[in-house]
């Protein structure tokens, strides 16, 4: 063992930095992980640096939307190895990988006992081919396990079962660390495990043994004081924190929580906060291991030897929180939990917090914001009766998502509120599509045992599946009469969901107003049937005696909630559920596949295609070239999300992806969703920049359209890109701030590449997407401070030459840009190449991180 030196300031280091430091010490090899990396972290407190540090996670967590394309990529790498006469089994995960199938179930059926089995049946009908490739991978690859459909949401399964706190491998004890192919991987930070979301591309690199490099992070200390007031929930708390930290600015930073307020937060409460890290913009929100952690691990069925291991290791290695630490953070920010009020967020961003007593006052402005202020009142006839549908009507009310379904306090609270509403004769409005999607089967166990399942079902909140459903865009179709009324009358209807994401067109393409709320408020708004209401002053409805019933009348007390939790949740529930977590139900067991070293690709498949990135890869790494006379494919504003770039929901017959599938013999009912088609690059490249709400400033139309400048035609983005490719024209994208925020979606980078886009020029990037662009060989460029496309007078109709790429390319090199207007005049300015490390420069030169890996394997 090399003597790396002492650490005089270790007691001042944030817990999260201590874990990174241990990771560097344990994996030190003098080549990819060096003494310089050690010094950066060892002296983090007294000599701050933003230099790159490596991270080798202990494991990888995947969900199926991002996991399937990752498996397709790894299988494609193996196929290329075999084509070149090499041993394909050398392409294999080198660390444990768990893939949880949780993103594919859709709410096609709701409002009845048979909704769950019908949705499961439909899920297998749609996704059997995708699931077969996962079963093949489980057999073909080492270190790869699959949690079948219907078992729970990946982050809740991770929190309740997979996370070990302290890992034991090859006779080494070390902190449990991971990366996940879902943005909400930091949820596990709530149990003292360091992990965060990465794109599928970075996850594949980690699977294949490559370190992940990132800038030594600033760590913001979030001090929590006091405790939550009566009448508020963990959801209100996390939406408040989301707003607070977004306004402060924590993008790319670590957040670490401390303060006496922690003593009053359960691990599920902590996990609720950590889950929303992507909505803050930070990388992790870390909660150190303490007695609460051990209690939670015991309660969720972890064995005693694991509990002893976690406590002993953490205490001996300075990873145990006592509350008396004097840690030196980059900066601190405080929140008094006693100031929290009931809150929702929306209509298009998680950070846009609105206290519930403000929503009615703000409603006209919210309607105008989403372009729905001119909608008309619509009469809908149903079952010889009828009702009026108007702006603000709640079309979708969904208790869904890992954010809240992992937290018994809000799930039991929702059940008790439903019971109280039922007892007063209240019910949900007939136009509301209701759904309950628990994050694990443990939730159903305690809801059934307490009798609250019956109360939820009485208000039409039947279990529709165990998965992400509405929060990932799998809300399923609205009832035909509702859908028709919305379209004919341009109505701005709403979705209220207990989720973490509410970006434009994510939940449902017809729903323009989307609000995040606690499960209790989801039920309350389903009862009112409208978001245009002040729940603090106006009644939910009338009881059987004609007496107004207010939210305060049916809101359960904290004592009631805790009593039900104590009586209804058993350690044995977790043990029973997780003893069979990898078994799957009969549909999974019945799936047949061909066992082989090389995956048997099918030309006829519309779900699984061999990735086109590696075929015929040259062994020579060519010098990157300057970008010359490039055209702008899209000119975009601020806060462009990966949902805008690579949609995850349904798509129409008239979309490019729909036309492709129809041309390949698929009817509309078999389209499924973009997310489910991520193993097919032909669908996904056609879906890139095809969000129906994306606003390309080069054209007047909303949606995935672009200007093809040689003919001045407005066509689809895909059509324009293919025309440009046919003439060898380079393409770029112009954008504003926070480009690529949202889900860690690798197809947002892969599709960008396949459309022929060589570079993106933005004011700033969300961390994961910038890394993914590099990982696919697309150059992320950044305007210099206080500069922008608008500031330079760029309209997007210019042709761009970007110089300095071809000579001595280095991290964060300043490049020269010349934009030529149609009249021949020139605009010149400088930009920064956001290749943030030497290894990223190598990845870019190789055409991407997987190309870098494959060349290395072929040379062995």
Token code pair at residue 400: 């869904």
Please choose, from the candidates 314, 275, 316, the residue with its C-alpha nearest in 3D space to the C-alpha of residue 292: 314
How many other CB atoms are there within 10 angstroms of residue 250's CB atom?
Answer: 24
677 plus 825 within the same structural domain = yes
387 plus 534 within the same structural domain = yes
Question: Residue range 718-743: average pLDDT?
Answer: 95
Q: To the nearest whole percent, how much of the chain has pLDDT over 70? A: 100
State pLDDT tens for residues 69-85: 899 999 999 999 999 99
636 plus 767 within the same structural domain = yes
521 plus 416 within the same structural domain = yes
Residue 830 pLDDT exceeds 80 = yes
Residue 2 pLDDT exceeds 70 = no
Residues 6+ apart with CB under 8 A from 240: 335, 340, 343, 353
Q: Among 569, 597, 615, which residue terminates a domain? A: 569
State pLDDT tens for residues 260-294: 999 999 999 999 999 999 999 899 999 999 999 99
Residue 676 pLDDT exceeds 80 = yes
680 plus 769 within the same structural domain = yes
Please choose, from the candidates 495, 243, 234, the residue with its C-alpha nearest in 3D space to the C-alpha of residue 353: 243
Note whether residue 841 is domain-resident.
yes
| Burial (Cβ within 10 Å: 0-12, 13-18, ≥19) of residue 381 | exposed
Mean pLDDT of the chain: 94
pLDDT for residue 670: 86
508 plus 631 within the same structural domain = no
Provide the pLDDT confidence category of residue 1 given band limits of 50, 70 and 90.
low
Give the CATH number, domain containing residue 696: 3.20.19.10
CB 346 within 8 A of CB 352: yes
Q: Among 569, 588, 613, which residue terminates a domain? A: 569
DSSP state string for 791-852: TTT--S-SEEEEESSSSS--TT-EEEEEEE-TTS-EEEEEEEE---SHHHHHHHHHTSHHHH
Note whether residue 226 is domain-resident.
no
Q: Among 569, 594, 619, which residue terminates a domain? A: 569
Q: How far apart are CA 798 and CA 632, in angstroms?
A: 7
Provide the pLDDT confidence category of residue 50 given band limits of 50, 70 and 90.
confident
Note whether residue 322 is domain-resident.
no
Provide the pLDDT confidence category of residue 374 given band limits of 50, 70 and 90.
confident
CA atoms within 13 A on the CB side of 842: 10
Residue 228 pLDDT exceeds 70 = yes
State pLDDT tens for residues 145-161: 999 999 999 999 999 99
pLDDT for residue 94: 93
565 plus 631 within the same structural domain = no
Provide the pLDDT confidence category of residue 384 given band limits of 50, 70 and 90.
confident
Note whether residue 67 is domain-resident.
no
Q: How far apart are CA 543 and CA 553, in angstroms?
A: 11
Helices (H), 153-218: 154-157, 200-207
Note whether residue 120 is domain-resident.
no
What does the buried/exposed string (b/e) look like for 746-767 if buried means 16 or more CB atoms within 10 Å of the residue's CB?
bbbbbbbbbbbbbbbbbbbbbb
Residue 59 pLDDT exceeds 70 = yes
Note whether residue 257 is domain-resident.
no
Q: How many domains does the chain have?
A: 3
Measure the CA angle with vertex 724, ends 720 and 727; round to 5°: 150
503 plus 635 within the same structural domain = no
Question: Residue range 600-613: average pLDDT?
Answer: 92
Residue 371 pLDDT exceeds 90 = no
Note whether residue 407 is domain-resident.
yes
Q: How far apart are CA 418 and CA 426, in angstroms?
A: 9
550 plus 636 within the same structural domain = no
633 plus 553 within the same structural domain = no
Provide the pLDDT confidence category of residue 4 given band limits of 50, 70 and 90.
confident
How many other CB atoms are there within 10 angstroms of residue 552's CB atom?
Answer: 9
CB 791 within 8 A of CB 837: no
Give the CATH number, domain containing residue 363: 3.30.499.10
Q: Tokens 């041309």 belong to which residue?
A: 663
Write out 530-543 in H/E/C secondary structure.
Answer: ECCCCCCCCCCEEC
Domain that holds residue 533: 343-569
Question: Residue range 315-339: average pLDDT?
Answer: 96
Question: Residue range 11-17: average pLDDT?
Answer: 97
Strand 254-258 relative to strand 284-286, pairing: parallel
Residue 349 pLDDT exceeds 80 = yes
642 plus 556 within the same structural domain = no
pLDDT for residue 470: 87
CA atoms within 13 A on the CB side of 701: 14
Helix (H) or strand (E) holding 344: strand 343-345
Provide the pLDDT confidence category of residue 437 given band limits of 50, 70 and 90.
very high
How many other CB atoms are there within 10 angstroms of residue 338's CB atom?
Answer: 12
pLDDT for residue 36: 92
pLDDT for residue 30: 86
Note whether residue 582 is domain-resident.
no
Write out 365-380 in H/E/C secondary structure.
Answer: HHHHHCCCCCCCCEEE
CA atoms within 13 A on the CB side of 347: 25
Residue 744 pLDDT exceeds 70 = no
Residue 407 pLDDT exceeds 60 = yes
| Burial (Cβ within 10 Å: 0-12, 13-18, ≥19) of residue 396 | buried
631 plus 545 within the same structural domain = no
């Amino acid at each position: 063992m090399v003597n790396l030196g002492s650490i005089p300031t270790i007691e001042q280091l944030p817990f999260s930095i201590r874990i990174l430091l241990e990771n560097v010490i344990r994996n030190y090899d003098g080549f990819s992980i060096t003494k310089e990396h050690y010094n950066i972290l060892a002296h983090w407190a007294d000599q701050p640096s933003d230099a790159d540090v490596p991270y080798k996670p202990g494991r990888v967590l995947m969900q199926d939307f991002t996991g399937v394309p990752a498996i397709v990529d790894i299988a494609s790498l193996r196929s290329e190895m075999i084509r070149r006469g090499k041993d394909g089994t050398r392409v294999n995960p080198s660390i444990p990988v768990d893939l949880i199938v949780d993103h594919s179930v859709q709410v096609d059926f709701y409002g009845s006992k048979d909704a769950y089995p019908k949705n499961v049946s439909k899920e297998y009908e749609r996704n059997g081919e995708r699931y077969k490739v996962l079963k093949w991978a489980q057999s073909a690859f080492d270190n790869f396990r699959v949690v079948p459909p219907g078992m729970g949401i990946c982050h809740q399964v991770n929190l309740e079962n997979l996370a070990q706190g302290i890992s034991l491998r090859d006779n080494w004890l070390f902190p449990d660390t991971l990366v996940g192919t879902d943005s909400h991987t930091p949820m596990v930070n709530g149990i003292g495990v360091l992990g965060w979301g990465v794109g599928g591309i970075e996850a594949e690199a980690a699977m294949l043994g490559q370190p992940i490099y990132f800038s030594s992070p600033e760590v913001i200390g979030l001090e929590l004081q006091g405790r939550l007031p009566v009448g508020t929930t963990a959801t209100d708390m996390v939406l408040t924190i989301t707003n607070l930290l977004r306004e402060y600015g924590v993008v790319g930073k670590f957040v670490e929580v401390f303060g006496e307020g922690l003593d009053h937060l359960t691990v599920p409460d902590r996990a609720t906060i950590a889950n929303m890290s992507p909505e803050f913009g930070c990388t992790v929100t870390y909660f150190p291991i303490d007695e609460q952690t051990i209690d939670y691990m015991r309660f969720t069925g972890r064995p005693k030897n694991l509990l002893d291991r976690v406590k002993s290791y953490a205490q001996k290695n300075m990873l145990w929180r006592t509350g008396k630490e004097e840690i030196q953070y980059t900066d601190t920010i405080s929140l008094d939990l006693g100031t929290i009020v009931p809150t929702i967020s929306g209509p298009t961003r998680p950070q846009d917090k609105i206290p519930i007593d403000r929503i009615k006052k703000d409603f006209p402005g919210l309607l105008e914001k989403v372009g729905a202020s001119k909608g008309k009142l619509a009469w809908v006839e149903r079952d010889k009766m009828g009702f009026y549908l108007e702006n603000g009507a709640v079309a979708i009310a969904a208790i869904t998502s890992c954010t809240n379904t992992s937290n018994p306090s809000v799930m039991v609270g929702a059940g008790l509120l439903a019971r109280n509403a039922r007892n007063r004769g209240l019910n949900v409005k007939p136009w509301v599509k209701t759904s309950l999607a628990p994050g694990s089967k443990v939730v159903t166990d305690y809801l059934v045992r307490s009798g609250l399942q019956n109360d939820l079902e009485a208000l039409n909140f039947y279990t529709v599946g165990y998965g992400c459903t509405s929060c990932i865009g799998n809300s399923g179709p609205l009832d035909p009469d509702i859908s028709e009324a919305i379209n004919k009358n341009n109505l701005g209807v709403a979705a209220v969901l207990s989720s973490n994401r509410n970006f434009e067109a994510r939940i449902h393409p017809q729903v323009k107003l989307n609000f995040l709320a606690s499960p209790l408020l989801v039920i309350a708004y389903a009862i009112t049937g409208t978001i245009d209401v002040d729940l603090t002053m106006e009644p939910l409805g009338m009881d059987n005696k004609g007496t107004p019933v207010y939210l305060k009348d049916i809101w359960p007390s904290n004592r009631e909630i805790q009593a039900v939790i104590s009586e209804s949740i058993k350690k044995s529930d977790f043990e029973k559920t997780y003893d069979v977590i990898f078994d799957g139900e009969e549909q999974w067991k019945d799936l047949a596949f061909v066992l082989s070293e090389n995956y048997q690709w099918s030309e006829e498949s519309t779900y699984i295609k061999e990735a086109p990135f590696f075929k015929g890869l040259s062994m020579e790494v060519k010098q990157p070239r300057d970008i010359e006379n490039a055209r702008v494919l899209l000119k975009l504003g601020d806060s462009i999300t990966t949902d805008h770039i690579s949609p995850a929901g349904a798509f129409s017959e008239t979309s490019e992806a729909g036309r492709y599938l129809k041309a390949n013999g698929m009817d509309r009912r078999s389209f499924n969703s973009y997310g489910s088609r991520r193993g097919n690059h032909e669908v996904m490249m056609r879906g890139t920049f095809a969000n129906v709400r994306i606003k390309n400033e080069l054209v007047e139309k909303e949606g995935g359209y672009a200007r093809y400048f040689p003919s001045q035609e407005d066509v689809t983005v895909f059509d324009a890109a293919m025309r440009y490719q046919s003439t060898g024209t380079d393409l770029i994208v112009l954008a504003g701030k926070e480009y690529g925020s949202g889900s860690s979606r690798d197809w947002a980078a892969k599709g960008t590449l396949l459309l022929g886009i060589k570079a993106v020029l933005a004011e700033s990037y969300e961390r994961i997407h910038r890394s993914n662009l590099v990982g696919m060989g697309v150059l992320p460029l950044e305007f210099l401070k206080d500069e922008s496309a608008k500031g330079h007078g760029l309209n997007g109709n210019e042709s761009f030459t970007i110089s300095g790429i071809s000579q001595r390319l280095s991290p964060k090199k300043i490049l020269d840009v010349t934009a030529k207007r149609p009249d021949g005049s020139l605009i010149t300015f400088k930009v920064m190449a956001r290749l943030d490390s030497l290894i990223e420069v190598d990845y870019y030169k190789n055409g991407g991180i997987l190309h870098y890996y494959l060349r290395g394997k072929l040379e062995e």
